[in-house]
Amino acid sequence: MTRQRLRWSVWALIALVGVFVLGLMSVHFALPGSTVALWWPAAGLAVCFLLATDPGPRRSALFVLGVLVSSGAANLVGGRPALVSVLYGFANAAEVAVVHGLMTTRARRPRLGSMDDLWRLLAATLAGAVVIGVLAGLTASVVLGGDFLDSASAAASSHGAAVLVMAPLGIAAGLRRVRRPRLEDIAQWVVVVGVTAWVFHQDQSLPLAFLPIPGLVWGALRLGLRTVAMQLLVVGIVAVTLTSLGGGPFAAAGRLGGIRPETVGSLTQAFLATAAVTTLSLAVATTQRRTALADLRSEVELSGVVLDTAASAIIVVDLAGVIARLNTTAARLLGAPEEELVGRLAAEVFPVANPEEVTARMAGIAGGTVPLHQEQDWLVEGLGVRHIVWTNAYLTDDDGNRTHLVKTGADVTDERAARTFVEAVLEAATATAIIGTDLDGVITLFNRGAETVLGWRASEVVGVRDWSLLHDPAEVDRRAAELEIEPGFDVLVHRVRGGAATETRDWTYVRKDGSRRTVSLTMSGIRDEGGMLTGYLGVAEDVTRRRQAEIALQVALDRERQAVEELTALDRTKSDFVSAVSHELRTPLASVLGYSEMLEDGAAGPLTERQLELVSRVDRNGRRLLSLIEDLLLNSRIEAGRLELEPRRCDLSDVVASAWTSVATVTSQRDLVRDVDVSPRPLWVEGDPAALERMVTNLLSNAVKFTPDGGRVSLVARPHDRDPGTVCLTVSDSGMGIPPADHERVFARFFRSSAANERAIQGSGLGLSIVRAIAEGHGGSVSLESAPDAGSTFTVTLPVGLPTTLSRQAP
């Protein structure tokens, strides 16, 4: 058993003892000669306890059983026969069960908050009274031989009055105490108790039974149900006790008018019942009124707060067009405090251009002809012209007549301006398709650009069609497969829905006429102020031409690469061919040169002057041919990246001398001043003597070739002036010179100046490119100083030591 249950059981036991004691007292105070008691407060106590504790069906049943036992015991101890006692005990228990049962049908808590509750209490009391009346009447008439009706009515009234007087106390036990001025409490209590005691006291025989009522009414109106319930009990106890002692108007009537004791009892109960019904109904009504007033007050306060915190302007206008009420927002728009505006004509205070129109509108309130929606421009001080959208509604009286117009206005100036701006931006984008959709892909926005790109009109697609109409279904399917999701609108917005800010990719749009356009579509989410996704915005640019151009460019590039590859292969074949041919030419040419040398030397007998001259021409041209072949072979090797130098320690002076000798056959034919200035000391370098000789030969033969007769050719080879780790080789001439624009080009392969071509100066255009390749192959360099008709000076610098890279890779 829980603590709470234990406590209830203890209180239940105390209550049952109380039932016993009260029962005993009632039996004791029963009027002499009466078969039933004058008052039976025990019944009231039992009901009061059950209503106050409301313990649920099982414990209620137990308690009712207890009532049976204790009531029976009280009767028995009070001197009634055993059978009667048992039957009375049963009747008592039945009454309590009926009253409590009716007060708590359908598990409702016993209440006394409304007239309905009071009716229920009266009905339950009446039912209980009928039950006890019938049972007690039967017992009295059958067992005790009394009159059924007398006993029944006496029992019913004594019990009913007791229940009616005491049950409210049980119900009120759970109520909060309402704080009242203490003085009034005491005064009222004194009046009620004093008057009741005076009316019912022993020497009082005047019929003043009505006198306690005003005091009780005072309590009912001012002090609440709880006090009323307690005072009813007190009045009941005082009235019954004093009456049974022979005091008060009812006992006096019994004495003087010879009325039977049962009737005296009934009169007393009637008095108590009247007092109870009167005061209880008043108390309930007062409480109800007080609650209703409080509700109303809070409702009024709430609606006032709602009105004043509303962002909309609210103005109530009566039939005469006079402002009856308005909220803070409206007052702010009208530029004056509420008190100043209420009572004035709307047409006077509304800051509109034509107040006559307002007057006309207001005149239509009674007839109900004011439009329910209306837009107005108000010139608000400090804010300028505000565009206000009004919603109008009528207030009607109980007869359904219109009494007021409630105008609710929203200032939409800023929204309109923003919307106009956005609309203008959207419309201005005539080449960009901007399409908005809701979360399901239904089109909500379709700008001019979208109309252009897609060929649909906005009116044909907005709200009617969904996005799928615009896309190539096959492409959507492919993308769905890539994303591993179901084909549908989600394919388009998958990334954005997943949290990405935007997603840009190419899509194929299908125009209304069925043709296709490639667009670059940037998808983004539209979110409300709370960050919730409300739709999607797609911005698409028609990139069909650009993509076609890109493809064309790619094709062209591929072709060019192929052509380059083919040309490179061809060039390689050519180089291989030239190199092969050169090789093949070298052997027979060597033999030609060998035989011509033998002829010159007289190996076939002495030659005449003329023969010698012819043979030496064969030799000269043969050597030129050989030099060309050497150049071609070297060039092939350079091109193939296989210069293949064979460096060793050699004296540059020797190399220079041997080169000088090899060109001597040519130079000797010419009228040139030749200067050779080679350092007397050996000029040691790490190098390939054959290649170096080729280099010097090329430079010297150029100088001779490009210098007319009478000119000068000089060759200088010596250590570098400032850098001891370097040797310098300079070949200069006083010839035709080279224009500055050609200074770099002369080192390119196959470059020949136009001057060289025009003057039919022989050459292949390979010489200088070989010179540079050999110089750089030795870790050195070649430079040129020259001007037209001012001669040319080629300077080769070579490192003394071994260069880091000897085998130069051709470009």
CB of 508 to ligand ADP, least distance (A): 59
Name the token pair of 131: 């039950």
**Closer of 344 and 752 to ligand ADP (Cβ):** 752
Pairing of strands 502-510, 516-527: antiparallel
Which residue number, 165 or 695, has a Cβ lying nearer to ligand ADP? Answer: 695
Which one, of 101, 99, 71, lies nearest residue 87 by Cα?
71
CA–CA distance, 329 with 309 (Å, rounded to integer): 8
Q: Which is nearer to ligand ADP, 26 or 732 (CB)?
A: 732
Nearer to ligand ADP, 401 or 757 (CB): 757
Indicate the residue among 222 and 674 with the shorter CB distance to ligand ADP: 674
Q: Which residue from 322, 338, 342, 463 is spatially nearest to 403, judged by alpha carbons? A: 322
Query: Smaller CB distance to ligand ADP: residue 19 or 738?
Result: 738
Asked if 130 contacts 102 with a C-beta cutoff of 8 angstroms, the reply is: no
Beta strands in 412-501 (DSSP E): 432-438, 443-446
**432-440, 453-461, 463-471, 746-754 -> range binding ligand ADP (CB under 6 A):** 746-754
Asked if residues 583 and 633 have their Cβ atoms less than 8 Å apart, the reply is: yes
Please say which residue, 454 or 746, places its beta carbon nearer to ligand ADP. Answer: 746
| Between 447 and 635, CB nearer to ligand ADP | 635
Paired tokens of 188: 């009222």
Rounded to a whole number of angstroms, the minimum distance from the CB of residue 689 to ligand ADP is 21
- HSE of 190, CA atoms in CB hemisphere, 13 A: 6
Torsion angle defined by CA atoms of residues 689, 691, 697 and 699, in that order, rounded to the nearest 10 degrees: -120
Token match 């203890």: residue? 10
CB under 8 Å, gap of 24 or more: what pairs does 527-532 form? none
Measured from the CB atom, is 446 or 794 closer to ligand ADP? Answer: 794
Amino acid at 194: G
Span of 3-11, 257-265, 619-627, 729-737 interacting with ligand ADP by CB under 6 A? 729-737
Residue span binding ligand ADP (CB under 6 A) among the ranges 97-105, 471-479, 597-605, 733-741: 733-741
Binding mask 37-76 for ligand ADP (x = CB under 6 A): ----------------------------------------
Q: Helix, strand or coil for residue 809?
A: coil
| Span 770-799, contacts to ligand ADP by CB under 6 A | 792
Binding characters for ligand ADP, 302-341, by CB under 6 A (x = yes): ----------------------------------------
Using the structure block, give the residue that is written with the tokens 């470009």.
811
Nearest C-alpha neighbor of 207 from the set 253, 267, 174 = 253
Rounded Cα gap, residues 733 and 715, in angstroms: 9
Of positions 51, 112, 316, 746, contacts ligand ADP by CB under 6 A: 746
667 binds ligand ADP (CB under 6 A): no
- C-beta separation of 341 from 323 below 8 A: yes
Instruction: Kindly report the number of other CB atoms within 10 A of residue 162's CB atom.
Output: 33
Q: 433 near 450, Cβ under 8 Å?
A: yes
Shortest distance, CB of residue 582 to ligand ADP, whole angstroms?
A: 16
Closest distance to ligand ADP from the beta carbon of 726 (Å): 23
CB of 784 to ligand ADP, least distance (A): 9
The nearest distance, CB 659 to ligand ADP, in angstroms, is 14
- Looking up tokens 């610098």, which residue turns up? 797
The contacts of residue 514 (CB under 8 Å, 6+ apart) are: none
Query: CA 673 to CA 671: how far, in whole Å?
Result: 7
Q: Is 792 helix (H, G, I), strand (E, B) or coil?
A: strand
Q: Which of 188, 702, 730, 797 binds ligand ADP (CB under 6 A)?
A: 702
Matching residue, tokens 């239509």: 364
Phi, then psi, of 640 in degrees rounded to 5: -80, 0
Residues 6+ apart with CB under 8 A from 251: 243, 244, 245, 264
Among 678, 736, 782, 796, binds ligand ADP (CB under 6 A): 736
Region 751-770 residues binding ligand ADP, contact defined as CB under 6 A: 751-753, 756, 763-769
**In one letter, which amino acid is 80?**
R
- Shorter beta-carbon distance to ligand ADP: residue 366 or 784: 784
Least distance to ligand ADP, CB of residue 550, Å: 44
Q: Is 510 in the site for ligand ADP (CB under 6 A)?
A: no
**How far is residue 163's CA from residue 507's CA, in Å, rounded to a whole number?**
88
Indicate the residue among 120 and 705 with the shorter CB distance to ligand ADP: 705
Count of residues in contact with ligand ADP, rule CB under 6 A: 22
Q: Is 735 in the site for ligand ADP (CB under 6 A)?
A: yes
What x/- string results for residues 618 through 637 when contact with ligand ADP is judged by CB under 6 A? Answer: --------------------
Q: Rounded to the nearest whole angstrom, what is the least distance from the CB of residue 652 to ligand ADP in the complex?
A: 20
CB of 230 or CB of 626, closer to ligand ADP: 626
Question: Maximum Cα–Cα distance for the chain, whole Å?
Answer: 205
Q: Does 738 bind ligand ADP (CB under 6 A)?
A: yes
- The 10 Å Cβ neighbour count of residue 548 is 11
Contact range with ligand ADP by CB under 6 A, out of 260-268, 395-403, 523-531, 735-743? 735-743
Taking CB under 6 A as the binding criterion, the range among 164-172, 424-432, 700-708, 773-781 that sits at the site for ligand ADP is 700-708
Residue closer to ligand ADP by CB (options 489, 706) is 706
Q: Is 394 in the site for ligand ADP (CB under 6 A)?
A: no
Q: How many CB atoms are located within 10 Å of the residue 804 CB?
A: 7
Nearer to ligand ADP, 424 or 760 (CB): 760
Contact residues: ligand ADP, CB under 6 A: 698, 702-703, 706, 733, 735-738, 746, 751-753, 756, 763-769, 792
